[in-house]
């Protein structure tokens, strides 16, 4: 999943024109009560604005462009450390774990116990990855693998890192996002002896410094890359060609990173094989359909406390993400409408009992608008002008241009930050639109991704690494590959045990009739699940 490069990672109010920002702030302070708020609530609104503003000023220099994979996200849990502690850069502190190991750079090793509990909670919801760990740790299929990793550092990715290590790999790891690291998890991994270079709220130069620390170290010669966004791969290609040419392969997780890899392959600059795990079927289905089905409600609830029963919701785009959103909303009694450009998806919506409309037919009456089309300018200023007071507008698609947020940064409109990730955009007549996450991915910005989904993703990554590392010479050339279908099926089968699901076995006769091997693959590559 990737989002248009987002600079500050903070608030759109502050990303626009400065004069406008100041005006918006002034009018928000003076006018918190124009909407008839109780004085103490108006005060709270102001406090939130000021607190956010302070934070923004502090972080303003962090203008690293971040890839999709690196959209800022809510952590499952966070451990609040003191402000003074946060003011000292981890690069200026020498830390050692309880065994005197110091080859890591994180926020605070003292929080390791809390992080370990987080990892244990994640393990409970990642049974297939744990199962893979158990099944393969005897064989150690990654013995000799030296993996340099750049992903989100979360409790779930810690389960992956520890699995790779149990399978025989040596690892060094940094984060692919300057905001998403769970500091306590980084501490737990460092306490366990892993070389982790990551903390939440890095400066841009810290980000690249951490990548460097993972590529080069005394006696360390990485031979595999696990990347999410392509920044690590890019650094190695740019600065360490000798290391790069000697590697066995790259496993890439994100749309952005995969896109970069295909470009490299096209221009003949990809000198080793790469595995695109983003497009494996299990990952796609879980990421797009099931994960969005679970997280769209979470994101909306956390930001707006809205009740869905009876609310009119417009979903723009009825692909995998749109289907997931609609199915969740239906379950809570919302009245859904779909807009579509494709007659097949439109017909699917009809068959699912959803009215297919053009946006202008419902724009004045609907309560919530959710874009998930992968397209741009699906909701324009013209539509936003027509929406009713209090309408909630958000995006579940990859790019933050699905809603034309830029068109809302005009002098006639006032922006008021009412919560983290929640802006009120106020029209001259007092009408307010509730804009969530400034039009960036709602679920990544305002909720968490279920551990079970990440279990699928991480199993896929682990299997891709095993496959590339163990493949006989010549099986993979200097190109980008999809995970073999059989492995995709294996990832799914590992997860079936959680549900005590029992697969039916083909008889010899049936296998012959269908022209299949009894152990799979069960579908051709073009099959649409």
Ligand X SMILES: NC(=O)c1ccc[n+]([C@@H]2O[C@H](COP(=O)([O-])OP(=O)(O)OC[C@H]3O[C@@H](n4cnc5c(N)ncnc54)[C@H](O)[C@@H]3O)[C@@H](O)[C@H]2O)c1
DSSP state of 293: H
Residue among 334 and 441 whose Cβ is closer to ligand X: 441
Q: Of 32, 339, 401, 451, which lies in the binding site for ligand X, with binding defined by CB under 6 A? A: 339
Environment class of residue 500 by beta-carbon count within 10 Å: exposed (0-12), middle (13-18) or buried (19+)? exposed
Under the binding rule (CB under 6 A), the answer on residue 349 touching ligand X is: no
Residue among 165 and 457 whose Cβ is closer to ligand X: 457
Under the binding rule (CB under 6 A), the answer on residue 317 touching ligand X is: yes
- H-state helical runs in 17-111: 18-31, 39-59, 83-87
Question: What binding mask, one character per residue, do residues 277-296 give for ligand X by CB under 6 A, x or -?
Answer: ----------xx--xx----
Give the total of residues touching ligand X (CB under 6 A): 27
Question: Which range of residues in 42-50, 128-136, 268-276, 315-323 is near ligand X by CB under 6 A?
Answer: 315-323
162 assigned binding-site residue: no
Contact 115, 162 (CB under 8 A): no
Q: What is the largest CA-CA distance in the chain?
A: 79
193 assigned binding-site residue: no
Task: Name the minimum Å distance from CB 224 to ligand X.
Answer: 26
Residue among 191 and 340 whose Cβ is closer to ligand X: 340
Under the binding rule (CB under 6 A), the answer on residue 378 touching ligand X is: yes
Under the binding rule (CB under 6 A), the answer on residue 441 touching ligand X is: yes
Q: Of 283, 398, 417, 440, which lies in the binding site for ligand X, with binding defined by CB under 6 A? A: 398
Environment class of residue 360 by beta-carbon count within 10 Å: exposed (0-12), middle (13-18) or buried (19+)? exposed
Contact 308, 333 (CB under 8 A): yes
What distance in Å separates the CA atoms of residue 273 and residue 275, rounded to the nearest whole number? 7
Under the binding rule (CB under 6 A), the answer on residue 72 touching ligand X is: no
What distance in Å separates the CA atoms of residue 239 and residue 265, rounded to the nearest whole number? 18
Q: Of 342, 364, 496, 510, which lies in the binding site for ligand X, with binding defined by CB under 6 A? A: 342
Contacts of the segment 83-92: beta carbons below 8 A, 24+ positions apart: 86/201, 89/203, 89/206, 90/199, 91/206, 91/209
Structure tokens that stand for 298 in this block = 């979470």
Task: Name the minimum Å distance from CB 370 to ligand X.
Answer: 10
What distance in Å separates the CA atoms of residue 527 and residue 489, rounded to the nearest whole number? 13
Q: What separation, in Å, do the N-terminal and C-terminal C-alpha atoms of the chain show?
A: 20
Residue among 206 and 340 whose Cβ is closer to ligand X: 340
Task: Name the minimum Å distance from CB 220 to ligand X.
Answer: 34
Environment class of residue 172 by beta-carbon count within 10 Å: exposed (0-12), middle (13-18) or buried (19+)? buried
Q: Of 374, 386, 478, 486, which lies in the binding site for ligand X, with binding defined by CB under 6 A? A: 374
Residue among 309 and 343 whose Cβ is closer to ligand X: 343
Question: Which range of residues in 85-93, 238-246, 311-319, 411-419 is near ligand X by CB under 6 A?
Answer: 311-319
Contact 133, 157 (CB under 8 A): no
Under the binding rule (CB under 6 A), the answer on residue 439 touching ligand X is: no
Q: Which residues have CB under 8 Å from 285's CB, separation 6+? A: 320, 529
Q: Of 149, 230, 322, 439, which lies in the binding site for ligand X, with binding defined by CB under 6 A? A: 322
Task: Name the minimum Å distance from CB 187 to ligand X.
Answer: 28
Under the binding rule (CB under 6 A), the answer on residue 228 touching ligand X is: no
322 assigned binding-site residue: yes
115 assigned binding-site residue: no
Give the residue ranges of the annotated binding site for NAD(+): 319-324, 340, 443
Residues found near ligand X in the complex (CB under 6 A): 1, 287-288, 291-292, 316-322, 339-342, 345, 372-375, 378, 396-398, 441, 443
């Amino acid at each position: 999943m990737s989002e248009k490069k987002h600079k500050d990672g903070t608030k759109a109010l502050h990303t626009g024109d400065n004069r406008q920002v100041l005006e918006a702030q002034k009018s928000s302070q003076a006018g918190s009560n124009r909407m008839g708020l109780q004085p103490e609530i108006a005060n709270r609104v102001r406090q939130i604005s000021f607190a956010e503003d302070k934070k923004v000023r502090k972080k303003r220099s962090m203008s690293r462009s971040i890839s999709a994979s690196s959209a800022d996200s809510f952590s499952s849990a966070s451990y609040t450390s003191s402000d003074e502690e946060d003011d000292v850069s981890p690069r200026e502190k020498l830390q050692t774990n309880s065994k005197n190991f110091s080859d890591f750079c994180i926020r605070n090793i003292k929080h390791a116990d809390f992080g370990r509990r987080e990892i244990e909670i994640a393990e409970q919801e990642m049974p297939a990855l744990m199962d893979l760990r158990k099944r393969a740790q005897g064989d150690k299929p990654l013995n000799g693998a030296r993996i340099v990793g750049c992903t989100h550092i979360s409790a779930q990715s810690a389960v992956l890192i520890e699995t790779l290590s149990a399978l025989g790999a040596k690892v060094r790891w940094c984060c692919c996002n300057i905001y998403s690291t769970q500091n306590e998890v980084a501490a737990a991994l460092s306490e366990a002896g892993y070389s982790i270079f990551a903390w939440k709220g890095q400066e841009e130069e810290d980000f690249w410094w951490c990548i460097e620390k993972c590529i080069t170290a005394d006696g360390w010669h990485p031979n595999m890359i696990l990347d999410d966004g392509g920044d690590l791969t890019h650094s190695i290609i740019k600065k360490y060609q000798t290391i790069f040419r000697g590697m066995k392969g790259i496993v890439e997780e994100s749309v952005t990173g995969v896109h970069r890899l295909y470009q490299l392959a096209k221009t003949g600059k990809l000198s080793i094989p790469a595995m695109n795990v983003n497009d494996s079927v299990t990952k796609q289905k879980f990421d797009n359909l099931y994960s969005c089905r679970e997280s769209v409600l979470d994101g909306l609830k956390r930001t707006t406390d809205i009740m869905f029963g009876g609310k009119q919701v417009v979903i723009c785009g009825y692909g995998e993400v749109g289907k997931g959103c609609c199915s969740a909303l239906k379950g809570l009694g919302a009245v859904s409408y779909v807009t579509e450009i494709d007659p097949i998806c439109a017909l699917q919506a009809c068959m699912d009992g959803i009215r297919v409309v053009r946006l202008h037919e419902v724009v004045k009456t609907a309560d919530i608008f959710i874009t998930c089309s992968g397209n741009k300018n699906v909701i324009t200023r013209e539509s936003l002008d027509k929406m009713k007071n209090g309408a909630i507008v958000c995006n579940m698609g990859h790019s933050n241009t699905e809603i034309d947020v830029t068109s809302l940064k005009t002098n006639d409109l006032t922006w008021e930050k009412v919560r983290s990730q929640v802006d009120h955009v106020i029209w001259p007549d007092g009408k307010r639109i509730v804009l969530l996450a400034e039009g960036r991915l709602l679920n990544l910005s305002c909720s968490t991704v279920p551990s079970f989904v990440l279990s699928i993703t991480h199993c896929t990554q682990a299997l891709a690494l095993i496959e590339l590392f163990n493949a006989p010479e010549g099986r993979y050339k200097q190109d980008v590959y999809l995970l073999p279908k059989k492995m995709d099926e294996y990832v799914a089968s590992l997860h079936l045990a959680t549900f005590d699901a029992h697969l039916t076995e083909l008889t010899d006769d049936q296998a012959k009739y269908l022209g299949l091997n009894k152990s799979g693959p069960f579908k051709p590559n073009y099959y649409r699940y």
